Amino acid sequence: MTKLQNAIVGGVRAVIGQVPASWLPGGTPDPLIDKPVSLGEQQSRVDGPDKVRGAARFAAEVPMEGLLYAAFLHSTIARGRVGDIDVSAAEAAPGVALVMTYRNAPKMSVPPPIGMTNLKAAGNHTLPIMQDPEIRWNGQVVAVVLAETREQADHAATLVRMRYDAAPTARTRFEEGKASAYTPESILVERNRLEKGGPSRKFAEAAFKIDAVYTTPWENHNPIEPHAATIVWRNGKLIVHDATQMIHGTAGSLAKIFGLKAGDVEVSSPYVGGGFGAKGLWDHQILGAAAAKLADRPVRVALSRASMHRLIGGRTQTEQRVALGADANGKLKALLHHGYGVRPLHSICDEGFTLTGRSLYASESFDIVQHYVDLDLLANSFMRGPGETPGTFAIECAMDELAYAIGIDPIELRRRNVATRDPVSGAPHSQSAMMQAYDLGAARIGWHRRVAQPGMRRDGEWLIGMGCASGTFPFMRMPGTSVRITIDAHGNAHVASAAHEMGMGTATVQRQHAADRLGLPLDRLTVTIGDSSLPFASFAGGSSQTASLAAAISAASGKLAAELVRLAGNDTPLAGLKPSEVEFAEGGLRSVAEPARQESFASILRRAGRDELSVVGESGAPLEIMKYSMHSTSANFCELRVSEVTGEIRVDRLVGAFDCGRILNAKTAASQFKGGMIMGLGMALTEETLLDERSGRIMSTSLVDYHVPVHLDVPDIDVLWTDIPDPRTPLGARGIGEIGTTGVAAAIANAVFNATGKRVRDLPLTLDKLI
Ligand code: MOS
């Protein structure tokens, strides 16, 4: 396992943070970084009208002849074996087509896990699925019922009689598991253990010290669309209408699991109703495909909220110790970050919370390591801002505590310590302006109104406070993402890639990009995404998809220019020009030196007797910018009130100021940032998976028990950005999908301290912790 992890880490080292050496034919710098036309505008979503009209078809809505509906029976023990099974009553129930258990399930291989070096896989754990009687977590599917209607399937599932031989012990307690926790060599792309600059001596010498333990709970995913798939086997091919942020990965994994050729699995997922890391390959698609094979009929799997919580991994709980030492001026001398999370050995997800403090502040020394507890639980998984979301809670609350101990403004403490290069490797930043974000945010929220001493502002029973915290998330771009650009006879352009739309505006922004890139107005461009028959795209994750697609479109446009010049031949105003001497403008190509020499796409194609011209471009992985440190950062601000009587917290305002390079579409970006901040708000105030540690059973399997913010919980949110292009990323943009969630919970906890003088170090900040 360690070897496998190292291989993944070795691979990712070579892919993170890279851009092609050149964007345009001839290697000229990309003019779109400085002179965008459509990019940066507030374009509405191209998929908006279809969604509003209900015409956008989601995975559980795809119509199909002869469809059967699946219901799942979940184990009620954490560890042991399935004993006697009696399916006779279920099989005899109205509408039932079959009941599948490990006894009659088709043979399937273990799901190939997603990895940075394996983007053609999407599995989240490495356990066999329904191949043996073993139970490995409380909630594992032990039977699948197929029936003519969903209601019949649900009813019949209640009639399956299953006896369990529970193992004498199951490992379900975090506290107990810590004693035998394991310490991986690497966390994602970094060495786990970091000791640099003599931390114990530096901490001992420090004039001001903070040493505290922070905890964050298990969290479950709750996208608006629960996981679903409509699945059919047709002529030996497996066709899956899925809700996934890993289209090709899902197809690749399913092919391996069922022993099919790569092209024999088709995955289509044009719309996903929210992903956040959860919409990968889990047991439900695999079991659905197996049951469809057994029944020889199409199958729909649409998970209930409860099934979702039992089958789809969430964010592990963490326990983090942060110790900060500073000199008399508030300069950090030592930063210690130790912690525990849960990562069952079958889980492939690193929750790298201790990566957070390695890039933000220029401490003189570091002492960082994290440990994992192996428990008999559902695999933990990626959840918006994995690592940095719980990590910023600990680090940024500790920074607030340090500022208070020293008696300086928390923004000033950050200003004195903000990293001007990577504090660990010494690598220069490609672009970084976190303090500029702080200035923007402070002005917007009116930070001057804050009173440093807690408990000083009040409105009746309400104590009022303000807090701030930094956010951070690394820049990533995946290699291998490809797009096809087709120019048709009318000179319109069509961009296609198996990319993903989970609500973030993928096609909208890449249409803006392609329009600017190809010199076309928006209405002459279409973008098609969401199907495995289209050119390969890596997952929509790690806030990497936009940059990956942008790099691929750039590469394809270079090829397109070369192909058009070749096709144009000699009987053209462009005759004799090299691809590096032309540019896209006004629906065609023109000479850079003599703009009057031009020919339109339509004319070039007509003269060549072509109906269309297609090229494919791929986001490459040159290594030149590995020497730069690249992170999106943010400054989060919160103003809130806490009732002295009930301990209730009401968040009045959130302000997020972001430094994420160039913002490509103000409207979709604002919505990404706000959505991320609302997840941070949920994390701060209410979200907590309740796990019964005696049985390993999740108790909070509905939106009643697991509270995500609703409209009444969400305050006015302002988002701002520095909009400074990063010269080493496609279009100057870094990722924006996950940064919004990071730092929000800390800003809220810090505001609670400012309001009340109570330092709550355990999320969520429920009112029992404040009275
Ligand atoms: Mo994200 S947790 O990579 O969808």
Q: Whose CA is nearest to atom 3 of ligand 1?
A: 541
**Separation of CA 592 and ligand 1 centre (Å):** 41
Nearest C-alpha neighbor of 214 from the set 355, 332, 337: 337
Ligand 1 atom closest to Cα of 276? Answer: 4
For residue 728, what pLDDT is reported? 84
For residue 118, what pLDDT is reported? 75
168: exposed, middle or buried (Cβ count in 10 Å: 0-12, 13-18, 19+): exposed
Question: What dihedral do alpha carbons 540, 541, 547, 552 form, nearest 10°?
Answer: -40
pLDDT mean across residues, the chain: 93
Residues 6+ apart with CB under 8 A from 251: 120, 240, 262, 265, 266, 267, 532
- Our answer on whether the CB atom of 288 is closer than 6 Å to any ligand 1 atom is no
Would you state the structure tokens that stand for residue 237, as one six-digit string? 């091919």
Calpha distance 41→37 (Å, rounded)? 8
Candidate list 266, 581, 687, 738, residue with the active-site label: 738
For residue 529, what pLDDT is reported? 98
Would you state the structure tokens that stand for residue 476, as one six-digit string? 């990533």
Neighbours of 522 (CB within 10 A): 16
Span between the terminal Cα atoms of the chain, in Å = 46
Q: What three-state secondary structure class fits 40? A: strand
pLDDT tens for each residue of 503-549: 999 999 999 999 999 999 999 999 999 999 999 999 999 999 999 99
For residue 119, what pLDDT is reported? 77
Examine the residue annotation and report whether 195 is marked as an active-site residue of this protein: no
**Separation of CA 278 and ligand 1 centre (Å):** 7
Among 501, 506, 738, the mutation site with the greatest number of ligand 1 atoms within 8 A of its Cβ is 738
- Our answer on whether the CB atom of 541 is closer than 6 Å to any ligand 1 atom is yes
- Our answer on whether the CB atom of 275 is closer than 6 Å to any ligand 1 atom is yes
- Our answer on whether the CB atom of 382 is closer than 6 Å to any ligand 1 atom is yes
* Per-residue CA distances from 53 to 47, 231, 268, 659 (Å): 10, 25, 21, 35
Cα–chain center distance at 598: 43
Fill in the DSSP letter of residue 271. Answer: -
Calpha distance 330→408 (Å, rounded)? 8
DSSP 383-441: -SSTTHHHHHHHHHHHHHHHHHHHTS-HHHHHHHHB-SB-TTT-PBBSS--HHHHHHHH
**Separation of CA 384 and ligand 1 centre (Å):** 5
- Our answer on whether the CB atom of 387 is closer than 6 Å to any ligand 1 atom is no
Neighbours of 453 (CB within 10 A): 9
Question: Edge-to-edge strand order for the sheet containing 161-166?
Answer: 134-135, 80-86, 161-166
Ligand 1 atom closest to Cα of 540? Answer: 4
Ligand 1 atom closest to Cα of 279? Answer: 4
Amino acid letter, 624: E
**Contact between residue 365 and residue 423 where contact means Cβ atoms under 8 Å apart:** no
For residue 115, what pLDDT is reported? 75
Ligand 1 atom closest to Cα of 544? Answer: 3
| Backbone phi, psi, residue 561, to 5° | -60, -45
pTM of the model: 0.95
Amino acid letter, 668: T
C-beta pairs of 163-167 under 8 Å, 24+ apart in sequence: 163/82, 163/83, 163/84, 163/85, 164/75, 164/76, 164/77, 164/80, 164/81, 164/82, 164/83, 164/135, 165/80, 165/81, 165/82, 165/83, 166/77, 166/79, 166/80, 167/77, 167/79, 167/80, 167/81
* Per-residue CA distances from 447 to 439, 467, 600 (Å): 10, 9, 55
Residues in the chain with pLDDT < 70? 1-29, 116-117, 621-625
* Per-residue CA distances from 572 to 166, 519, 550, 592, 604 (Å): 79, 19, 31, 15, 8
Q: Can you name the residues that pair with 633 across neighbouring β-strands?
A: 472, 659
**Separation of CA 339 and ligand 1 centre (Å):** 22
Calpha distance 41→22 (Å, rounded)? 25
**Separation of CA 357 and ligand 1 centre (Å):** 20
For residue 624, what pLDDT is reported? 56
**Separation of CA 203 and ligand 1 centre (Å):** 35
22: exposed, middle or buried (Cβ count in 10 Å: 0-12, 13-18, 19+): middle
Would you state the structure tokens that stand for residue 739, as one six-digit string? 């940064």
Tracing tokens 């919980």 back to the chain, one arrives at 713
Amino acid letter, 41: E
**Contact between residue 36 and residue 42 where contact means Cβ atoms under 8 Å apart:** no
Q: Whose CA is nearest to atom 4 of ligand 1?
A: 277
**Contact between residue 454 and residue 642 where contact means Cβ atoms under 8 Å apart:** no
**Contact between residue 118 and residue 479 where contact means Cβ atoms under 8 Å apart:** no
Ligand 1 atom closest to Cα of 277? Answer: 4
**Separation of CA 216 and ligand 1 centre (Å):** 18
